[in-house]
Structure 1
Amino acid sequence: MNGFALLPKLTARAKTSPGWLRLLNLLLGRIIPFNRPHGFVIEELRDNYLRTTAPYRRSNHNHLRGIHACAIATIAEFSGGYLLLSRLDPRKYRLIMSRIEVDYVYQAKDRIVSESDLPEERLQREIIEPLQEQEAVTIRMESRISDVQGNRIATAVTIWQVKGWDLVRTRI
């Protein structure tokens, strides 16, 4: 069983238990190795909301000792994508990001926080119901990034394609 198969049960437990949330963060570092050096940590996970943090450390710095634009974009991608993945069974649906747009407004010189939300009504209207008649759908996820002082750093929009694994022609 690969790590993604464990996510639905682990995610459900992590919503109510700090210990399970720590285990989820550890597992995510293993199944998404690209993100491990950034030090992303899911700090809060609810049914419709996800809050992720990234530390202010050298591996996330740019040449001006601020947090690098790519680290900011990556935490936004992770935040919106994982919230979406937590609402859909990763054994049943394949998610792939098709586009990202980031509006940077302030230089990050401290730990950053990315927040995303996905209300149940929107999930049903934009994904679940359309997938009953369509092969694939796209959904726009917004992530708001701020520093721990409350300064708005960036707003990112990721566009995700959602498709049933049974309709995917290429496999991992």
Structure 2
Amino acid sequence: MKAENKLSKIVKKVTLLPKGWHASALSLVFGNVIKFAGTSKIRVEKLDFAGSKLSLKNHKRVQNHIGGIHAAAMALLGESATGFLIGMHVPDNRIPLLKNMNIDYVRRAAGDLTAVATLSDEQIKHIRDTEKGDISVPVVITDSEGNEPINAEFIWAWVPKKRGS
């Protein structure tokens, strides 16, 4: 049985909508909560307990000086894909925080980007059973040609909420 928190309950409600509406509804919800992700128009294609898939179109608001997706927007896509997935598992009495991100830009990105993040059953158990900890969340970011323009590692931590918050 999957543990539930506020985020996973929202995702569960969205899955009650017609399947064709899931990505738009999830993107709208997250774009309103995480303003920077909303501004960049990151699209939540899929989010469940096992993984996430987010995309970012190469549109003017996220472009760099050579017409590709800006380095910071690539980092935002990876952070969002890993952070939303971590958020599905961190209990409501804890706060998830990005602890570290390591990004190697290895090639110019062509067109749009897609980020896919996953967690193993062991990682999920660790997140749920450990009051305070951190974990590296695997993410693969590919461009329209199927290449990986960046290699990225996002380390997420979680800490107990302070009483009264």
TM-score, normalisation: structure 1: 0.82
* Equivalent position of 1:152 in the other structure: 148
Cα distance change of structure 1 residues 87 and 79 upon mapping to structure 2, 3 Å threshold: same
Looking at structure 2, the residues matched to 15 and 148 of structure 1 have their Cα atoms a distance apart, in angstroms, of 27
AA matched with 2:101: I
CA distance in 1, matches of 2:22, 2:148: 30
Partner of 1:11: 11
Higher helix share: 1
**Native 8 Å contact 2:110 2:144 kept in 1:** no
Task: Give the counterpart letter for 1:153 in structure 2.
Answer: P
Q: CA deviation at 1:88?
A: 2.7
Check conservation: 2:90, 2:128, Cα contact below 8 A.
Answer: no
Is 1:143 aligned to 2:139, yes or no?
yes
Identity value in percent:
23
1:93 maps to 2:94: yes
Q: Give the ranges of 4+ consecutive aligned residues of structure 1 lying more than 6 Å apart after TM superposition.
A: none
Instruction: Report the secondary structure of 2:88's partner residue.
Output: helix
Taking the aligned partners of 1:14 and 1:120, their CA distance within structure 2 comes to: 24
Which residue in the other structure is 2:112 paired with? 111
Partner-residue secondary structure (3-state), 1:152? coil
Counterparts of 1:139 and 1:15, CA distance in 2 = 27
Aligned pair 1:102/2:103, yes or no?
A: yes
**Partner AA of 2:105 in structure 1:** Y
Over 3 Å counting, the alpha-carbon distance change for 1:37 and 1:18 in structure 2 is same
Alpha carbon RMSD of aligned pairs, Å?
2.1
Unmatched 5+ stretches in structure 2: none
Gaps of 5+ in 1: none
Q: 1:64 to 1:160 in 2, by over 3 A?
A: same
Distance in structure 2 (CA, Å) of the matches to 1:15 and 1:155: 31
Task: Measure, in 2, the Cα distance between the counterparts of 1:110 and 1:42.
Answer: 18
Judge conservation of contact 1:44–1:51 (CA < 8 Å) in 2: yes
Where 1:87 maps in the other structure, the secondary structure is coil
Matched residue, 1:24: 26
Contact kept, 8 Å, 1:54 with 1:112, in 2: the verdict is: yes
Quick one: distance in 1 between partners of 2:13 and 2:104?
34
- Secondary structure of 2:124's counterpart equals helix
Q: How many residues align?
A: 159
Tell me the distance in 1 between the aligned counterparts of 2:20 and 2:119: 22
Tell me, in whole angstroms, the C-alpha distance in 1 between the residues paired with 2:77 and 2:34. 12
Q: Normalising to structure 2: TM-score of the pair?
A: 0.86
